[in-house]
Structure 1
Amino acid sequence: MIHCEGLVKIYKTEEVEVMALQGLNLDVEDGEMMAIIGASGSGKSTLLNILGGLDRPSAGQVRVGEWDLTKISEQDLVRYKRSTVGFIWQNNARNLLPYLTALENVTLPMLLNGRYDVNRAKELLDAVGLSHRMKNRLEQLSGGEQQRVAIAIALANQPKLLLADEPTGAVDTATAEVIMNIFREINREMGVTVLIVTHDLALAKKVDRVVAIRDGLTSSEFLRGGYAPSGAPGGQGDLHQEFTVVDRVGRLQIPQEYLQEMGIRDKVILEFDGEKILIKPPSQEDSLTHAEETFPSGTQTIS
């Protein structure tokens, strides 16, 4: 469903240039439900905006289904956003029009796409548990109910891909649980690919795969079905296994906390014992040997 290779996004102003994505690689299978996690500024929302057709990449490849988003025309981009992808924002004001009822909000995307179907709109509201709230406006709905209406809106035009940007960020834990269960049901019953961007590691228990982004690059993955090490999503004993991602030229990102714990700065020693690759900091003897090789006995240096 999604293929990103060497994806780069650079934001420029007159005074500053920021590289939000630095060659990110990502593949998402059709029908998968997964989460993208990362700290603020890691590039996860930038990635979501590109996949949603709201922003253009600076370089690299990005495909969603049959669409090549690096070469798509403006006219086709409108078609893509109306038919292939549904978007859910954390801020409900971006999802709903306050002067329309819940039912009218869900039918609006259908009207824009020329496929008005009030019965389907009612079915979608029923699917998110809001059949009794169809005639209510924004101010009459709780935050969790507004977010559930937003999910129904995103599904109005039968998209193949559902993108959610921090969908549980503005609700309490119990409501977040309800919303995540709705995503899972939609994924299973409708076959929609679901991609959720979040900073909440607890979501790992609710999805098939979690991909971590650090500094605009894919750094690690957590897959359901293994035993998670201490510090992985959900804590020790969670049914997820962590993998560090190796890109196409053999680079990997070692977590910063590991580097700090081992006292590693700018170089390491790699050893292969036939089964495992060992990474360790250079010892003082290694540093002295390197210095002797670089500056043989009798060589003078100028400081």
Structure 2
Amino acid sequence: MIRCDGLVKIYKTTEIEVVALQGLNLTIEAGEMMAIIGNSGSGKSTLLNILGGLDRPSAGMVGVGPWDLLKITDAQLVQYKRESVGFIWQNNARNLLPYLTALENVETVMMLSGKLDRIYAKELLERVGLAHRIHSKLQQLSGGEQQRVAIAISLANRPALLLADEPTGSVDSETAERIMDIFRTLNRELGVTIVIVTHDLSLAHKVNRVVAIRDGQTSSELIRREVDESSSFKSEKEQQVTQDRHEEYIVLDRAGRLQVPKAYLEALQISGKASMEFDGEKIMIRAPK
């Protein structure tokens, strides 16, 4: 579904040049629900904006389905954003038109593409648990309800890819869990590919795969070995069990380079150079003698 190979994004001004993505490699399968985590400035939001067609890559390769986002024309980009991808922002003001009802917000997206389907719009609001709020306006909805309307809006044109930028960042933990439950249900029932950017590792552990980005490159992956779709992940104990199911892998790029987690390097007091040995079975990295 998504293929990034040596993806580079450089922001330039008259005085400064910032490399946000430095040859990032990433593959996401169709129908997958996964999370991208990273510290502020790591490049995760830049990646999401590129995948959403909101920003242009500088170099490398990035493909979403049949679309090549490096070579896409402006007219094709409009078509891509309307038909292939749905976007959910953390800030509800960017998701909703406050003077419209929940139903009218969903229908507006459809009308912009010339494909109004009121029955499907109501079905989407029912799927996110808002069948009783379809005629409510923004000021009549809680923050969690507004975010659920935003999810329905993002699916209005039946996109194959759903991108969510910190979708639970402005709601309480109980509402966040409900939103994640909705994502899992939509992923399972509609088959839509879902990519979530978050800084909250407890939420990231509720998906099947987590990709960590550091300094504009993929650094590691967490893969869940046993998936319990029926679990609601409501207790701290259940959250810990979920975390235990994730196994961490360091990601190698095409040149065989890897990013060792910062905590490991600090624990060994490694900086700049390291000693490496191979004993026939294991590769060992140590601080230089």
Q: Return the alpha-carbon distance in structure 1 between the equivalents of residues 248 and 259 of structure 2.
A: 13
Report if the CA contact (8 A) 2:206-2:242 is conserved: no
1:269 partnered with 2:258: no
1:240 partnered with 2:246: yes
Q: Return the alpha-carbon distance in structure 1 between the equivalents of residues 242 and 171 of structure 2.
A: 26
Aligned equivalent of 2:15: 15
* 1:185-224 matched pairs, under 5 angstroms: 185-224=185-224
Structure 2: state its 5+ residue gaps. Answer: 227-238
Q: Return the alpha-carbon distance in structure 1 between the equivalents of residues 8 and 243 of structure 2.
A: 36
Q: Return the alpha-carbon distance in structure 1 between the equivalents of residues 286 and 55 of structure 2.
A: 41
Report if the CA contact (8 A) 2:128-2:182 is conserved: yes
In our comparison, the structure showing a higher alpha carbon Rg is 1
Secondary structure of the equivalent of 1:120? helix
Report if the CA contact (8 A) 2:21-2:215 is conserved: yes
256-265 or 124-133: bigger deviation: 256-265
Q: Return the alpha-carbon distance in structure 2 between the equivalents of residues 9 and 77 of structure 1.
A: 18
Report if the CA contact (8 A) 2:198-2:204 is conserved: no
Counterpart amino acid of residue 145 in structure 2: E
CA-CA distance at 1:211 after TM superposition: 0.1
Aligned equivalent of 1:179: 179
CA-CA distance at 1:236 after TM superposition: 9.3
Q: Return the alpha-carbon distance in structure 2 between the equivalents of residues 250 and 266 of structure 1.
A: 18
Secondary structure of the equivalent of 2:15? coil
Q: 1:125-145 deviations in whole A, cap 9, x for unaligned?
A: 000000100011101000000
Report if the CA contact (8 A) 1:205-1:234 is conserved: no
Aligned equivalent of 2:115: 115
Secondary structure of the equivalent of 1:252? coil
Q: Return the alpha-carbon distance in structure 2 between the equivalents of residues 136 and 41 of structure 1.
A: 37
How many positions carry a matched residue from both structures? Answer: 277
Q: Return the alpha-carbon distance in structure 1 between the equivalents of residues 131 and 182 of structure 2.
A: 14
* 1:119-130 matched pairs, under 5 angstroms: 119-130=119-130
Report if the CA contact (8 A) 1:201-1:234 is conserved: no
Aligned equivalent of 2:233: none
Q: Return the alpha-carbon distance in structure 2 between the equivalents of residues 91 and 234 of structure 1.
A: 29
The 1:85–1:204 alpha-carbon spacing in structure 2 relative to 1, beyond 3 Å, is same
CA-CA distance at 1:225 after TM superposition: 0.9
* 1:126-205 matched pairs, under 5 angstroms: 126-205=126-205
Counterpart amino acid of residue 120 in structure 2: R
CA-CA distance at 1:204 after TM superposition: 2.9
Q: 1:31-86 deviations in whole A, cap 9, x for unaligned?
A: 00000000011000000000000000011000000000000010010110000000
Counterpart amino acid of residue 252 in structure 2: V
Q: Return the alpha-carbon distance in structure 1 between the equivalents of residues 273 and 115 of structure 2.
A: 59
Q: Return the alpha-carbon distance in structure 2 between the equivalents of residues 257 and 15 of structure 1.
A: 34
How many percent of aligned residue pairs carry the same amino acid?
69
TM-score (norm 1): 0.90
Superposed structure 1 runs of 4+ greater than 6 Å apart: none
Q: 1:238-292 deviations in whole A, cap 9, x for unaligned?
A: 2110000010001101112211111111111111111110001111xxxxxxxxx
TM-score (norm 2): 0.94
Aligned equivalent of 1:258: 264
